[in-house]
């Protein structure tokens, strides 16, 4: 189920028209306030939100991501719909947890391709290829526990409040311990994008994931569990820091 939060009729017409043509089930509201009631009563796998002018826009997105960590959030820039709207910095949105950012000019094929990419990952039973890659079995690596059945991660017994994308990213690392991935490889495997230009998306999510790992008081420097391999990318440092942390 998809929720669309729009502020302009033009946005509503274009976005919901694309979703209707592809037969995606969706609800539409005109503000974050209206969305609040629906979000309390219904879980939405994907939330598509129009960005708007004003300093409080990023704050609204941050609150949305924090209060609904199991939903994937896509921001659609006003400039993608209306050419006279001011452009915004998408990095700010990635930094607060937005999973995807679509900027203009609006491309219906690219928009629908991203929706389908999300659906393949949120509903693996509908995709036989992905079904062979994922498992419901719990992963245990040192003090780290990942349980896909309950969408939960604990570090030294403390539950981590991860967003859907952060969980998917950490789960992917745990299924390939010690293996180094470039930003482009992670973008393709976790986000489903097969093109250049969104590596900063990976950087932002890695930084937020590390910040949450670092808040676990019983583990020293938990952020080092996800290690930067300079000039290459990132890896889950099982043979190094995880083994060390297990002895603390």
Tens-of-pLDDT digits for all 248 residues of the chain? Answer: 788 888 777 777 888 888 888 877 788 888 888 888 788 777 788 898 888 766 678 888 888 888 888 788 888 886 554 444 445 577 888 888 888 888 777 788 888 888 887 776 665 433 333 333 445 678 888 778 888 877 788 888 888 888 878 888 998 898 888 889 988 888 878 877 655 556 778 888 899 899 998 888 777 778 888 999 988 899 998 766 554 544 44
pTM of the model: 0.57
Question: In CATH, what number does 139-245 get?
Answer: 1.10.10.10
- Name beta bridge partners: 50: 76
Quick check: do 2-128 and 139-245 share a fold? no
> Which residue ranges make up each domain of the chain?
2-128, 139-245
Question: Which whole-number Å values give the CA distances from 162 to 105, 155, 167, 205, in the listed order?
Answer: 32, 12, 6, 11
Name the CATH superfamily for 2-128.
Response regulator (3.40.50.2300)
- Tell me, what DSSP letter sits at residue 181? B
What are the tokens at 12?
Answer: 């509503």
| Relative orientation angle of helices 9-21 and 108-122, to the nearest 10 degrees | 60
């Amino acid at each position: 189920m998809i929720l669309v939060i729009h502020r302009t009729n033009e946005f509503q017409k274009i976005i919901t028209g694309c979703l209707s043509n592809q037969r995606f089930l969706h609800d539409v509201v005109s503000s974050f306030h209206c969305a609040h009631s629906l979000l309390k009563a219904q879980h939405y796998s994907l939330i598509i939100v129009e960005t708007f002018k004003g300093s409080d826009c990023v704050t609204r997105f941050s609150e949305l991501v924090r209060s609904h960590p199991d939903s994937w959030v896509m921001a659609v820039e006003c400039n993608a719909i209306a050419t006279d709207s001011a452009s915004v910095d998408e990095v700010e949105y990635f930094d607060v947890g937005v999973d995807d950012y679509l900027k203009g000019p609006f491309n219906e094929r690219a928009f629908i391709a991203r929706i389908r990419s999300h659906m393949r990952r949120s509903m693996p039973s509908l995709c036989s290829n992905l079904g062979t890659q994922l498992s419901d079995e719990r992963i245990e690596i040192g003090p780290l526990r990942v349980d896909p059945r309950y969408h939960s991660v604990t570090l030294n017994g403390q539950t981590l409040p991860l967003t859907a994308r952060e969980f998917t990213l950490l789960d992917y690392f745990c299924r390939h311990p010690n293996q180094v991935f470039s930003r482009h490889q992670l973008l393709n495997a976790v986000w489903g994008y097969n093109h250049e230009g969104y590596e900063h998306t990976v950087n932002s999510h890695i930084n937020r994931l590390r910040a949450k790992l670092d808040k676990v008081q019983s583990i020293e420097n938990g952020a080092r569990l996800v290690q930067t391999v300079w000039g290459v990318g990132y890896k889950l440092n099982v043979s190094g820091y995880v083994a060390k942390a297990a002895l603390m």
